[in-house]
Amino acid sequence: MSKKLLFHFTAAPYGSTRAKDALDAVLAASAYEQDISLLFSGDGVFQLLNTQDGHAAEQKNLASLLSVFPMYDIEKIFVQASALSQRQLNLEQLAVDSQPLTDTEVAALMDQQDSLFSF
């Protein structure tokens, strides 16, 4: 029986290994055919930008990893609307299709999960 797993991305894409570690954990969990959802909030929304460039931080561009999610049946990608707004970003700037959620919807999504992994 599959469990509902939510991976919560809160860190900026570069400057630490948190974002890359989170993406590795998501791909590993997908091998076990779990019900996976991704939530990007806070500075984690920067991981979704289609204009990010890891070369300046001497790291691999994480946006290229986002494009493989459909191959791993990872289709539930959410972004906290207030985090986008606070950073003056919009959905058109994101590298992958993401469903915006209000803060209330974010709380409800978290409550519906069997496990929550925050990075």
Confidence of residue 14 (pLDDT cuts 50, 70, 90): confident
Q: What is residue 116's predicted lDDT score, i.e. its pLDDT?
A: 98
Which fold would CATH assign to domain 4-118?
A: Hypothetical Protein Ychn; Chain: A, (3.40.1260)
Write the CA distances from 67 to 45, 59, 63, 73, 74, integer angstroms.
Answer: 16, 17, 7, 12, 10
What is the phi/psi pair of residue 42, to 5°? 55, -145
Above 60 in pLDDT, residue 72?
yes
Q: How confident is the model at residue 1 (pLDDT cuts 50, 70, 90)?
A: confident
pLDDT for position 15: 81
pTM metric for this prediction: 0.91
Q: Are 47 and 19 in contact (CB under 8 A)?
A: yes
